[in-house]
Amino acid sequence: MKTAIEPGISNRPSLRLRITAAAESIARGGHPWVFAQSVRQQNRPGATGELAVIFDRADRFLAVGLFDAQSPIRVRILHAGKPQPIDHLWWQQRASDAFALRQSLFDPQTTGFRCINGENDGWPGLVLDQYDTTRVLKLYTAAWLPRLDETADLLKGEGRLVLRLSRNIQKQALDDFGLKDGRILHGAALNGPHLDTATSGFIDSLSTRSGERVRERGLSHPVPLDGPVIFLENGLRFEADVLRGQKTGFFLDQRENRRNVEALARGRSVLNLFSYSGGFSLYAARGGAASVCSLDIIEHALAAARRNFALNQDQPAVARCRHETLQADAFVWLRQNPEQRFDLIVLDPPSLARRESEKNDAITAYAKLIEASLARLNKSGILVASSCSAHVSADEFFSLVRATAQKSGRKFNELQTTRHPADHPATFPEGEYLKCIYLGSME
Ligand code: SAH
């Protein structure tokens, strides 16, 4: 039996750290990060990926975590409180805890969801998303790289496991471990009906990326995984570009807001700003929207949106809906097209503040987007405004939207606000990024 996920670091005393008093109390309070500048003492240089044990001022065990020699987040805490061996059983338990939480959340109509949400599930800097029979393991810290084999073994499931690497660790992964973003760690490097069950029954009517008809290839000849996999979300088919797409290929965190938009869309003209692959657009169409415009700055995201519409033509409301895609910078387009009006506008920009210093600019940018979107709402129109910047708190964002609505001089009803869905738990402030507010125009 394996004793621990502990990469070949032997004959060395364990890495022992002491940290500042402030950092001690933050760690005791359950926060999962210890920053480099909080480390007061270290018994020896640490290697990225090894376990670091943190002792308090009275020399008692405080916490144990993953050391990262390069990152400003020097230790990502795995366990705090009573001393605890971090062995194979412990990791197994962490994995089964995360899977157990998701087990009862979804019916067979939803085969895409998050299995592990980083720190918030006790796996700091690691995300695991499921898309039908394909799992995507995305690493945000190099500390996982020396532990990859054992980690992948624990998390691989029955099907395929794809490795994705955040941009900041790609060079290190290649130089030190020969690992490339998009590597298939387990399972077939092939796409076939036996692998992707969401496609069964309709795959024969699809085209592959190269334009060949799958029907002509024959269902018994799987095609290489050189493109997206298809999964179900509330009965809608979507593709996830697990090899090259943003995040792990799809924005799973907006599932519930998309469902809310479906319920609000009947008969409406819809503008989906920052649409990516048309997640909100498809739900609006199924909800009976008369027309949907998906706007994004990236053409291949819009091409994916068109393919996602094509995948769902068996749904009468989707087939009836007029869908157009528009490649544009949303900020510029809103400025240049003041006359166009819509009954429902979805506003879901990328994170506008990636660091604290960008927060004020982000708030100014949000205010512009919200003001311009409100001005384009028809009478009785609805704005669904979302933010995924952790540096702008939910309270700050909601206040900004309310204040901007008030300034507009029109009357708006606040329909609801939402936060994180259950498969994306947020257990510490920096982990809490998603918020969304729904406003209905009264005039
Ligand atoms: N709402 C989407 C996710 C949006 S992600 C969903 O539910 O899946 C943010 C998107 O904004 C990305 O697709 C990105 O290409 C796009 N984007 C970034 N800057 C933009 C800009 N200035 N104008 C329009 N789109 C932009």
DSSP notation for 359-417: HHHHHHHHHHHHHHHHHTEEEEEEEEEEE--TTS-HHHHHHHHHHHHHHTSS-EEEEEE
Residues 409, 372 contacting (CB under 8 angstroms): no
Residues 273, 369 contacting (CB under 8 angstroms): yes
Residue type, 341: R
Could you give the strand order of the β-sheet that contains 126-131, starting from the edge strand earlier in sequence?
112-117, 126-131, 134-139, 160-165, 184-186
pLDDT in tens, the chain (443 residues): 343 445 544 567 899 999 999 999 999 999 999 999 999 999 999 999 999 999 999 999 999 999 999 999 999 999 999 999 999 999 999 999 999 999 999 999 999 999 999 999 999 999 999 999 999 999 999 999 999 999 999 999 888 999 999 999 999 999 999 999 999 999 877 665 444 444 433 333 333 333 333 333 333 344 457 679 999 999 999 999 999 999 999 999 999 999 999 999 999 999 999 999 999 999 999 999 999 999 999 999 999 999 999 999 999 999 999 999 999 999 999 999 889 999 999 999 999 988 889 999 999 999 999 999 999 999 999 999 999 999 999 999 999 999 999 999 999 999 999 999 999 999 999 999 999 999 999 98
Q: Is the CB of 279 under 6 A from ligand 1?
A: yes
What is the residue with the minimal CA distance to atom 9 of ligand 1? 350
Apex 59 CA angle, 80 and 49, nearest 5: 50
User: Cα(351) to centroid of ligand 1, in Å?
Assistant: 9
Q: Is the CB of 381 under 6 A from ligand 1?
A: no
How far apart CA 316 and CA 293 sit, in angstroms, is 18
Give CB contacts under 8 A, 24+ apart, made by 291-294: 291/321, 291/322, 291/323, 291/324, 292/321, 292/322, 292/323, 292/324, 293/269, 293/323, 293/324, 293/325, 293/326, 293/342, 294/323, 294/324, 294/325, 294/326
**Residue that the structure tokens 């909100």 belong to:** 280
Please tell me whether residue 294 adopts helix, strand or coil conformation. strand
What is the residue with the minimal CA distance to atom 22 of ligand 1? 329
User: Cα(294) to centroid of ligand 1, in Å?
Assistant: 10
pLDDT at 353: 87
Closest alpha carbon to 197 in 228, 226, 231, 224:
231
Q: Is the CB of 274 under 6 A from ligand 1?
A: yes
Nearest atom of ligand 1 to the alpha carbon of 272 = 1
Length of the chain: 443
Question: How would you class 218 by CB atoms within 10 Å of its CB: exposed for 0-12, middle for 13-18, buried for 19 or more?
Answer: exposed
What is the residue with the minimal CA distance to atom 21 of ligand 1? 329
User: Cα(202) to centroid of ligand 1, in Å?
Assistant: 29
Q: Is the CB of 297 under 6 A from ligand 1?
A: yes
pLDDT at 187: 86
229 token code pair: 């996999």
pLDDT at 156: 93
User: Cα(330) to centroid of ligand 1, in Å?
Assistant: 9
Hey, which of 238, 276, 369 would you mutate to test ligand 1's pocket, going by the most ligand atoms within 8 Å of its Cβ?
A: 276
Q: Is the CB of 238 under 6 A from ligand 1?
A: no
What is the residue with the minimal CA distance to atom 3 of ligand 1? 276
Nearest atom of ligand 1 to the alpha carbon of 331 = 22
Residue 42 is given by DSSP the state E
Closest alpha carbon to 259 in 416, 100, 43:
416
pLDDT at 204: 32
User: Cα(350) to centroid of ligand 1, in Å?
Assistant: 6
What is the residue with the minimal CA distance to atom 7 of ligand 1? 279
Residues 308, 239 contacting (CB under 8 angstroms): yes
Q: Is the CB of 241 under 6 A from ligand 1?
A: no
How far apart CA 279 and CA 258 sit, in angstroms, is 7
Nearest atom of ligand 1 to the alpha carbon of 348 = 1
Q: Kindly report the number of other CB atoms within 10 A of residue 133's CB atom.
A: 19
How far apart CA 63 and CA 77 sit, in angstroms, is 7
